[in-house]
């Protein structure tokens, strides 16, 4: 399976990157990440000399010194120091440097053509920056292809069965819509006058109370998702702002391992830190002990075969997940066969549409 290259991938939570040399793997590429006085730097983690991982080396000022033979690289990727013999540095030595941007407390890395990297195309998750929300967040590394993680969130009907704490009739009995605009998917679930899930009741501190429910989700290739829940008094108009915005971003390390970044905001009791901690523990439990083993089991049953080759049963409720797989396949094919520029322009148009929609929403 090829990966989409011309896309912003989440590499980690910003706060986890410091002036220390760190590494992560995205779509099979090993990256070196660190902060200098000039900002954050993302470049190839593999020394071009003998392929030692550069994060095993150390910093010398803003330079990175390989831990094996001491070559030093500048933040622009150039080799600027060879400590051996006559000190000659061949001209062509250049680490690949990746465009990076920090948005919504995440570090995003552009894995494709540098000239096409445009941070305005990073999907909007502004709730994590919004002081009106208390935000809990985390990160999980799981066995399994990232598409399986996307499927998981694009059909929340699984909550009823896999997550007893998150289960709500909204996800099975609610009315759904799915709409594609450009390469972005929007889907909705509405379900009036019913009990929210146990977790939501607990989060809102409104146990045993029926409410109206609106869920909005947005998927952008390759696997970047927003899922916002609005909750209101029965029969009243939909509130302006989501009670529980969330993000679910899946970064493929390689074909069989996925890094899952999640964050959940709430607009009530935002200063109740103990409440946040209990909620965080609940989500971690659901993601680590319920989703992760199920997705790993699915992945093993696929046994290296292509998803479509396995002829999956498609239910009406799978339309979102199926559309996402088709959009992704088309984008990957476009950047491989078409001009990269045109492929990215196609995504740009979608972004414009998306913004329009969000304003009107």
Assess 96 for contact with its own copies (CB under 8 A): no
Assess 5 for contact with its own copies (CB under 8 A): no
Residue choice 14, 53, 288, 323 for contact with its own copies (CB under 8 A)? 53
Residue choice 14, 25, 30, 239 for contact with its own copies (CB under 8 A)? 30
Neighbours of 293 (CB within 10 A): 14
How many residues sit close enough to its own copies to count as binding (CB under 8 A)? 50
Task: Looking at residues 254 to 313 of the shown chain, list those that interact with its own copies (rule: CB under 8 A).
Answer: 294, 297-298, 301-302, 310-313
> Least distance from C-beta 121 to its own copies, angstroms?
30
Give the residue among 116, 74, 69, 70 at the shortest CA–CA distance from 95.
Answer: 74
- State yes or no: cis peptide before 71, omega within 30 of 0: no
Distance CA 159, CA 121 (A): 30
Residue choice 141, 234, 314, 356 for contact with its own copies (CB under 8 A)? 314
Distance CA 283, CA 162 (A): 13
Residue choice 121, 158, 218, 266 for contact with its own copies (CB under 8 A)? 158
Residue choice 35, 36, 59, 68 for contact with its own copies (CB under 8 A)? 68
Distance CA 17, CA 22 (A): 7
Instruction: For its own copies, give the closer residue by CB, 151 or 212.
Output: 151
Assess 85 for contact with its own copies (CB under 8 A): yes
By CB under 8 A, which span of 5-13, 127-135, 160-168, 341-349 interacts with its own copies? Answer: 160-168
Residue choice 38, 39, 86, 304 for contact with its own copies (CB under 8 A)? 86
Distance of CA 159 to the CA centre of its chain: 20
In the shown chain, the binding pattern of residues 220 to 239 toward its own copies, with x for contact by CB under 8 A and - for none, equals --------------------
Instruction: For its own copies, give the closer residue by CB, 2 or 315.
Output: 315
Assess 197 for contact with its own copies (CB under 8 A): no
Instruction: For its own copies, give the closer residue by CB, 49 or 241.
Output: 49
Residue choice 273, 315, 352, 356 for contact with its own copies (CB under 8 A)? 315
Assess 322 for contact with its own copies (CB under 8 A): no
> Least distance from C-beta 30 to its own copies, angstroms?
7
Distance of CA 35 to the CA centre of its chain: 21
Distance CA 214, CA 228 (A): 8
Which residue ranges make up the site for its own copies (CB under 8 A)? 30, 46, 48-53, 56-57, 65-70, 79, 82-86, 88, 90, 92-93, 148, 151, 155, 157-158, 160-162, 172, 176, 294, 297-298, 301-302, 310-318
């Amino acid at each position: 399976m090829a990966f989409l290259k011309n896309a912003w991938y989440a590499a980690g939570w910003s706060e986890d990157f410091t002036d220390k040399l760190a590494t992560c793997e995205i779509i099979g590429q090993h990256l070196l990440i660190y902060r200098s006085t000039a900002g954050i730097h993302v470049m190839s983690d593999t020394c071009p000399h003998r392929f030692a991982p550069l994060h095993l080396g150390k910093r010398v000022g803003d330079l990175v010194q390989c831990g094996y033979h001491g070559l030093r690289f500048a933040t622009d990727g150039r080799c600027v120091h060879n400590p051996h013999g006559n000190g000659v540095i061949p001209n062509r030595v250049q680490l690949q440097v990746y465009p990076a941007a920090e948005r919504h407390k995440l570090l995003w890395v552009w894995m494709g053509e540098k000239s096409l990297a445009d941070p305005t195309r990073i999907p909007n998750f502004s709730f994590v920056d919004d002081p009106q929300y208390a935000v809990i967040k985390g990160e999980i590394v799981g066995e399994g292809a990232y598409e399986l993680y996307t499927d998981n969130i694009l059909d929340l009907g699984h909550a009823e069965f896999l997550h007893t704490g998150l289960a709500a009739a909204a996800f099975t009995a609610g009315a759904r819509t799915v709409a594609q605009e450009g390469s972005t998917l929007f889907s909705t679930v509405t379900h009036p006058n019913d009990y929210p899930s146990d977790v939501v009741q607990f989060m809102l501190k409104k146990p045993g109370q029926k409410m109206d429910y609106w869920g909005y989700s947005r998927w952008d290739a390759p696997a970047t998702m927003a899922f916002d829940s609005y909750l209101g008094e029965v029969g009243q108009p939909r509130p302006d702002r989501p009670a529980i915005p969330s993000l679910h971003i899946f970064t493929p390390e390689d074909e069989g391992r996925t890094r899952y970044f999640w964050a959940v905001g709430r607009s009530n009791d935002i200063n109740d830190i103990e409440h946040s901690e209990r909620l965080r523990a609940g989500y971690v439990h659901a993601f680590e002990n319920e989703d992760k083993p199920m997705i790993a089991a699915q992945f093993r049953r696929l046994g290296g075969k292509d998803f479509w080759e396995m002829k999956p049963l498609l239910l009406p409720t799978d339309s979102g997940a199926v559309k996402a797989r088709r959009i992704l396949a088309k984008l990957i094919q476009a950047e491989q066969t078409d001009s990269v520029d045109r492929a990215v322009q196609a995504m740009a148009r979608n972004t414009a549409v998306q913004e329009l929609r969000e304003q009107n929403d």
